[in-house]
Amino acid sequence: MIRLQKLALIALAGSLGALSRYGLASLVHRLAGTGFPLGTFVVNVTGCLAFGLCVGLFEGRVSISPETRFAVLTGFLGSYTTFSTYAFESAALMRDGQWLTASVNIGGQIVLGLVAVVIGLNIARAL
């Protein structure tokens, strides 16, 4: 497949993923009516479930083209929630016995992500 077509397919799937994320998170937030970010929580958990299900199926049970795999995993689910990729990669490291690397990945992304948000907010407020 021509690279431009592949990118267009990923962009289209990404658009659908973003709209799905917004729709589900908004619906859950509206129904729950709580201060807890339940919409994001539900999106992240369902995204992880979908990512694991897709990878498991794509590894041998369901034959799909590389372009479709990219559209589903990188496009749709990558836009729906990048947390699913983070969780999958962390689980793969643990499965392979790379506990230290998995711990650094898990802890590092959480801690540095939070620190980066705070720094970003402080920079923006200082401008």
- Distance, in Å, from the CA atom of 53 to the CA atom of 72, rounded to the nearest integer, reads 12
Residue 78 assigned ligand-binding role: yes
Cα 100 versus chain centre, distance: 22
What is the chain's alpha carbon radius of gyration, rounded to the nearest angstrom? 17
For the chain, give me the number of helices (H) and strands (E)?
6, 0
- Distance, in Å, from the CA atom of 78 to the CA atom of 15, rounded to the nearest integer, reads 10
**Using CA atoms in the order 88, 92, 94, 99, what is the torsion angle rounded to 10 degrees?**
-100
- The answer for 33, left when phi > 0, alpha when psi is -120 to 50, beta otherwise, is left
Residue 23 assigned ligand-binding role: no
For the annotated binding site, the residues are 78, 81
For the annotated binding site for Na(+), the residues are 78, 81
